[in-house]
Amino acid sequence: MAGAAGYIGGELLRLLIGHPEVEVVGAVSSRFPGKRVDGVHPNLRASTDLLFCSADEVGECDAVFLALPHRAVMTQIDHWTQRAELVIDLTGDFRLDDPSAFERYYGEEHQAPHLLDAFVPGLPELHRERLRSANLISVPGCMATSGVLALHPLVEHGLIETGAGVQIDARTGSSGSGSTAGPANLHAERSGAMRVFAPTSHRHEAEISQHLGVPARMTATGVEAVRGVQTICHATLRPGVDKAAVRRAYRRQYAEEPFVRVVAHQRGIFRYPDPKILLGSNFCDVGYALDEDTGRLTAIGALDNLVKGGAGNAVQCLNIRMGRPEALGLTFPGLHPL
């Protein structure tokens, strides 16, 4: 695993160390080579004696996870494909299949455009069959995963107008900025703030558009939480679509999915998806509300950005690719109260 000292890397280590059929043979960190893993990830005390290592110390293995900074993997991909048959990338480098879209959203030319089509999106709910034989997997961004899963039943069953696209309001906790985030994420600056950091053109909107085939526009706001993502997605129903049709679409789409739960209750504190009760879990809760008189529909998705929005989704893809039970090592349900 490369990038093992970051927040996503720590979650990968937590899940993989506890996985009954995985042996972690290398935890790569350029900042802490030779240091104990549990010195950086104190929650892993008594769980592992691993030391961080350099990339050159990693030999051949069955699979490698890349949790490096964005734009780093595309310059190192050849190194890692020589180390492992299966490469699972958790960065944004291979999420978009159009090099011009990558340049627009990431601000530079892609360094390995010939491989963009080779990566299979690490989103089991949409690409499970392709993942069974994939050797290159790109895990989507956290807000993209939440938004896609919230909207997918509506698009798949033809229930919304797609010409005008969808509008997404995404809220995220501070861990989404990574463990080396700058001054904007100091406690003194972040505490009490609801900071709109991407009013337009957030890179995850490109992923949502690509996965759904529908134009997406997204605003992203940082809120006073450490973990968690919630996406509020606005769309217009097609004429004649009612609440019963929407309910059927969600139930049918996700009836057999192990990590997507439909949450749209009439009463209760958590009657709509809320990331608070999902922290540490690999679940994505999705729900909806609609005004049949106006045809306005709001779809809601929630997840833990570090788990179903990152490390957990990656392990889920590993299980599928290796022919293991999909939920292996991923059954923690979250905590309440918290």
Q: Does a structural domain hold residue 335? A: no
Residues 133 and 92 in one domain: yes
Quote the pTM value.
0.97
State the DSSP code for 246: H
CATH number at residue 213: 3.30.360.10
Give a yes or no: residue 113 inside a domain. yes
| Shared-domain flag, residues 97 and 200 | no
326 domain-assigned: no
What is the reported pLDDT for 262? Answer: 98
Please give the pLDDT value at position 266. Answer: 85
Are residue 67 and residue 189 in the same domain, yes or no?
A: no
Examine the domain organization and report whether 157 and 298 are in the same domain: yes
User: What pLDDT is attached to residue 236?
Assistant: 97
Express each pLDDT in 153-175 by its tens digit.
Answer: 999 999 999 998 999 999 999 99
Residue 265 has a pLDDT of 87
Q: What is the pLDDT of residue 44?
A: 98
Q: What does the pLDDT read at residue 178?
A: 81
- What is the residue range of 76's domain? 7-140+307-321
**In this structure, are 192 and 250 located in the same domain?**
yes
Which residues are catalytically annotated?
142
| Residue 124: per-residue pLDDT | 98
- Asked if 237 and 159 touch (Cβ cutoff 8 Å), the reply is yes
pLDDT of residue 4: 98
Question: Residues 158, 117: one domain?
Answer: no
Same domain assignment for residues 203 and 157: yes
Q: Indicate if 77 and 120 belong to the same structural domain.
A: yes
pLDDT for 185: 79
Residues 246, 287 within the same domain: yes
pLDDT for 283 equals 98
Low-confidence ranges of the chain (pLDDT < 50): none
Residue 119 counted as domain residue? yes
Q: Into how many domains does the chain fold? A: 2
CA distances from 189 to 6, 226, 230 (A): 21, 14, 21
- Strands (DSSP E) found in the chain: 27-28, 52-53, 61-66, 84-89, 120-121, 136-138, 166-172, 195-198, 216-222, 229-236, 260-262, 284-291, 296-303
* Per-residue model confidence (pLDDT) at position 184: 80
**How much is the pLDDT for 183?**
82
CATH of the domain at 58: 3.40.50.720
pLDDT at 297: 97
Distance CA 263, CA 275 (A): 12
* Residue 268 domain-assigned (yes or no): yes
The reply to whether 134 and 203 lie within a common domain is: no
Same domain, 269 and 192: yes
51 alpha carbon, distance to own chain's centre = 27
